[in-house]
Amino acid sequence: MAVHLDLGRKGESLAKTFLEGLGYEILDENWTHGKAEIDLVAYKDKVIIFAEVKTRTGNAFGEPEDFVDNRKQKLLAEAADEYIYLMDHQGEVRFDIVSILFDKNANYTLKHIEDAFWPSA
């Protein structure tokens, strides 16, 4: 498997463990709709949280969260709309980013950005 895929899976696992430690219930992992994939779908305090996990080994080109651009946000919103419809969720929703940055010694910094964006239609 490609190294970047291994890194992504490791990041998603770390993000899942982190969110569970905060009391989030993980409803789905790697949920897909069309061309979009939602890394983690979580639930806490009657809110569905759609979490995008970005993992990088350096920040020379920007922080991991900087890579959730408008195009990605639009795809996530489309997938989230379908998820909300299928689950018949009538409550609040939120889009979070979990940013994980590894250094050369395999240590990492995890940043949870709640309500990171609200995609426009």
CB-hemisphere CA count at 13 Å for 11? Answer: 28
Specify the number of domains making up the chain: 1
The answer to the question of residue 63 being in a domain is yes
Q: What is the CATH number for 57?
A: 3.40.1350.10
The answer to the question of residue 120 being in a domain is no
Local structure of residue 106 (DSSP, 8 states):
S
Strands, E assignment, the chain: 25-33, 36-44, 47-56, 92-102, 108-113
Integer Cα distance of 100 and 102 in angstroms? 7
Q: Is pLDDT at 2 greater than 70 in this prediction?
A: no
What's the average model confidence in pLDDT over 41-69? Answer: 93
Integer Cα distance of 65 and 96 in angstroms? 10
The answer to the question of residue 119 being in a domain is no
The answer to the question of residue 69 being in a domain is yes
Q: Is pLDDT at 1 greater than 60 in this prediction?
A: no
Instruction: Report H helices in 22-120.
Output: 70-87
**pTM given for the model:** 0.91
Its domain, for residue 16, covers 3-113
